[in-house]
């Protein structure tokens, strides 16, 4: 629902239909929101770092890709290190995304990369 109660005359009448009220663009927007929510539910997990402290990222050839020309850590590197630091087995990926103030899908590709390099392991969340 995008419009508040009583803000359009067709609200809860026989005119409240796809022809008069909902546009294809609006319907697609609602579909995309639901699709993203389902993707988050399906891909949410609990990442756990395989290291007791910050891992030496050069070992996995991540050091040079992490550093920018000005020798400051770029967005991906900061996100990667934040994700590793929150991967204590107590936080879900969704909670980590909220703590980092990032969209869930920005973290998921980084999780896959860290998982493939065995820097973190993943515990799947059982869905009921």
- Distance CA(64)–CA(71), nearest Å, equals 10
| Mean per-residue pLDDT, 57-68 | 60
Task: Tell me the three-class secondary structure of 41-83, residue by residue.
Answer: HHHCEEEEECCCCCCCHHHHCCHHHHECCCCCECHHHHHHHHH
pTM above 0.85, yes or no: no
The confidence score (pLDDT) of residue 64 equals: 52
Least-confidence region, from 42-46, 71-75, 101-105: 71-75
The confidence score (pLDDT) of residue 72 equals: 46
- Distance CA(37)–CA(21), nearest Å, equals 24
């Amino acid at each position: 629902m995008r419009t508040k109660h009583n803000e359009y005359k067709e609200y809860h009448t026989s005119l409240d239909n796809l022809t008069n009220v909902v546009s294809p663009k609006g319907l697609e927007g609602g579909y995309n929101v639901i699709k993203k929510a389902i993707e988050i539910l399906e891909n949410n997990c609990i990442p756990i770092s395989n290291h007791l402290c910050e891992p030496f990222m050069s070992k996995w050839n991540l050091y040079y890709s992490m550093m920018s020309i000005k020798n400051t850590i770029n967005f991906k590197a900061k996100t990667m290190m934040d994700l590793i630091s929150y991967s204590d087995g107590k936080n879900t990926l969704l909670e980590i995304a909220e703590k980092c103030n990032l969209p869930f899908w920005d973290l998921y590709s980084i999780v896959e990369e860290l998982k493939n390099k065995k820097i973190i392991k993943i515990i799947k969340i059982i869905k009921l």
